[in-house]
Amino acid sequence: MLNRYPLWKNLLIVIVMVLGALYAAPNLYPDDYALQISGTRDIYSTDQKLVDRVEKALKRENLAVKASEVTDKNALIRFNDSEAQLKAKQIVAEMLGDDYVVALNLAPTTPQWLTDIGAGPMKLGLDLRGGVHFLLEVDMSQAVGQRLEVYISEIKTKLRAEVLRYRAVDRDEDGALAVKFAKQDVRDKAQSFIRNEYPEFLVTGEERNGSFYVVVNLKPSTIKDIEDYAIKQNLTTLRNRVNELGVAEPLVQRQGRNRIVVQLPGIQDAAEAKRIIGKTANLQFRLEATPSASRSATEVFNFRSEPSRSATIEKDVIVTGANVSNAQASFDENGLPQVNITLDSKGGQLMSRTTSDAIQRRMAVLFIEHKARTTYETVDGERVAKRTPYVEKKIISLATIQSVLGNSFRITGLDGQGESTELALLLRAGALAAPIYFVEERTVGPSLGAENIAQGITSVKIGFALVLLFMLVYYRVFGLLANIALMINLVMLTAVMSMLSATLTLPGIAGIVLTVGMAVDANVLIFARIKEELANGLPPQSAINSGFERAFTTIFDANITTLIAAIILFSMGTGPVKGFAITLSVGIVTSMFTAIMVTRALVNLTYGGRQIKSLSI
């Protein structure tokens, strides 16, 4: 019998529509404005007592809390609007200090039963919902200083190889390197040697208090190269860290001489992002000092896990985190956390060369963090935050070298699984070439302005309504069925975008509008073909069947060519172009399904399997 789907096909369509409605439903629940509080280390817990303290402080400032909750990693305080959220952040950050990260967040309100089946809302881009904006400043003086420390080790090694005996290699107050010699002729030879070996230096000879010095200053062009490298390396590292967080369509770019802008659209865990992005952690591998080592060649550091315990280690660095090519968190045979390290070829050579002469000696792993203390001052009647940077160096491991180490080894003695996972992530993403500090953190509104976006949404609604009205007036009953299929198409498009965790941007909305037009176009082709068959004298049932079947080839060809264009846009485009291409691609698939199968099913239910003399089309 014409125009009747078998039961299995009708059930398939119903199942797809129900699943589409379920996975599109989370988009009906808007996010709450919230503060997310988490400890900078595992020892700073976020328990109910902390939440109670925060709520009391906010109550004293007449700020209403909508709800609060505590999880294993953080505490979440929800508010009714963004104004209360922003006021609360300043109060809570000042109250908790640097031991906790207080970050602005948008907390989901999706019901648990939807979350349990893996349903979640679409992520919105910065131009629609905004997101988190970080402005970071790169410490250029530290970048130059770290490079000078490397030069000190290299110069010592090369002077020893040339049998040019020096007394000390230190940094002057103005940042220059001063190599001290006992004899003038040795100084002169060393001066000539260093000038030839290091064309990036300005090398001069001086005499101070009866001793002879080679004074080394970096050329201005060299300093600029170091600073440019620091920015580029930090940009690469930050992009890698953001990718580890799984943020869609992030923006990480340079601003001015020493600043970097990071924008994270639609992020759900701003506190975690701030901690990982801002973490300026690095490792240094050094040998433990021997009893005969001079005090000037050694340093004393405390252990991170046992602050009362300390060890004396050599100043010379074997390798650093910059030589790490891969790092994975795991557990040792006793179930304790560890990080498996793989060095690059240069790092492996340096490690092998050093440890071959240091069997049965102990090697320390020094964990270095660049932090900042926050204090608050009153300026013109307003509380202003002031950040003072400082460096914290702690030993996380001191183990005996049992055999020559190469490219691969492991770090133990870490403070819990969370620390081993985070350390592996930071090392895997790459070391920062210089410390970075947060200069500004804020939520970002839509880049095109709320008014423009409201007007855009209004225009979409008007356009959609006019399409529905046209279809209803021109095609009557068939137009009504096409409108139902069109609305189902939007629900399914939203569901697929949500399931893919795609980011919806303003160009993405343009892709949705184009999809609506294409879905209507497919129905128009089908209905025009049906009218043509009726005009040729076919009976109504035959005209319906012929109209759908003969229009299929044209619809399929048109959609396939558009899909190819969308794939090319996605593969060659970036940012908003990719967003448009994704939405268009998904929309093509869903519109094909609804325009052909769903519309046909609705027509079958209305006209199929019975005698009819005319069609309302």
DSSP one-letter string for 300-359: EEEBSS-TT-EEEEESS-SEEGGGEEEEEEEE-TTS-EEEEEEE-HHHHHHHHHHHTT-T
Give the pLDDT mean for 578-603: 88
Rounded Cα distance, 273 and 254, in Å: 19
Strand order of the sheet with strand 211-218?
A: 168-171, 177-181, 211-218, 201-208
CA 277 to chain centre: 8
Percent pLDDT > 90 in the chain is: 13
Q: How confident is the model at residue 286 (pLDDT cuts 50, 70, 90)?
A: very high
Does domain 7-26+447-607 fall into CATH 3.30.70.360?
A: no
The pTM for the full model equals: 0.57
- Provide the sign of the torsion angle of the four alpha carbons 583, 584, 585, 586, taken in this order: positive
Q: Is the pLDDT of residue 13 over 90?
A: yes
Q: CB count, 10 Å around CB of 114?
A: 18
Rounded Cα distance, 35 and 378, in Å: 24
Pairing label, strands 211-218, 201-208: antiparallel
Does domain 32-107 fall into CATH 3.60.9.10?
A: no
Segments of the chain assigned to CATH 3.10.28: 141-222
Rounded Cα distance, 161 and 171, in Å: 22
More confident residue, 333 or 11: 11
Return the SS3 of 287.
Answer: strand
Rounded Cα distance, 72 and 562, in Å: 47
Rounded Cα distance, 505 and 576, in Å: 7
Rg (CA), the chain: 33
How many residues are given for the chain? 617
- Amino acid, res. 171: R
pLDDT of residue 25: 94
Return the SS3 of 203.
Answer: strand
Rounded Cα distance, 246 and 469, in Å: 42
Rounded Cα distance, 264 and 243, in Å: 11
Segments of the chain assigned to CATH 1.20.1640.10: 7-26+447-607
DSSP assigned state of 612: -
Q: Is the pLDDT of residue 573 over 90?
A: no
Percent pLDDT > 70 in the chain is: 88
Q: Is the pLDDT of residue 290 over 60?
A: yes
pLDDT of residue 491: 92
Segments of the chain assigned to CATH 3.30.70.260: 32-107
pLDDT per position as a tens digit, 513-555: 788 777 888 888 899 899 998 988 888 889 998 988 888 888 8
Q: How confident is the model at residue 510 (pLDDT cuts 50, 70, 90)?
A: confident
Q: Which of 271, 279, 278 has the alpha carbon at shortest distance from 132?
A: 271
Return the SS3 of 216.
Answer: strand
CB 606 within 8 A of CB 477: yes
> What's the token pair of residue 220?
């201005």
Give the pLDDT mean for 141-149: 82
pLDDT of residue 320: 83
Which residues, listed in sequence order, are joined to residue 79 by a DSSP beta bridge?
33
pLDDT of residue 426: 62
pLDDT per position as a tens digit, 401-429: 888 888 887 777 666 666 677 667 666 65
Give the pLDDT mean for 31-51: 79
Q: Is the pLDDT of residue 507 over 60?
A: yes
- How buried is 378 (Cβ within 10 angstroms: 0-12 exposed, 13-18 middle, 19+ buried)? exposed
Give the count of alpha carbons within 13 A of 248, CB side only: 22
Which residues, listed in sequence order, are joined to residue 180 by a DSSP beta bridge?
168, 213
Give the pLDDT mean for 553-580: 84
Rounded Cα distance, 133 and 443, in Å: 6
Rounded Cα distance, 477 and 458, in Å: 27
Q: How confident is the model at residue 17 (pLDDT cuts 50, 70, 90)?
A: very high
pLDDT of residue 125: 72
Give the pLDDT mean for 205-226: 89
Overall CATH class of domain 281-431: alpha beta
Q: Is the pLDDT of residue 571 over 60?
A: yes
Name the architecture of domain 141-222. Answer: Roll (3.10)
Q: Which backbone phi and psi does 37 adopt, to 5 degrees?
A: -115, 125
pLDDT per position as a tens digit, 441-500: 776 655 555 566 677 677 778 878 888 898 889 888 998 999 999 899 989 999 999 988
> What's the token pair of residue 215?
């004074």
DSSP assigned state of 288: B
pLDDT per position as a tens digit, 373-409: 777 777 777 766 676 777 888 888 888 888 888 888 7
Give the count of alpha carbons within 13 A of 372, CB side only: 21
pLDDT of residue 373: 73
pLDDT per position as a tens digit, 229-270: 888 878 877 887 676 554 545 778 888 888 998 887 756 556
Segments of the chain assigned to CATH 3.30.1360.200: 281-431
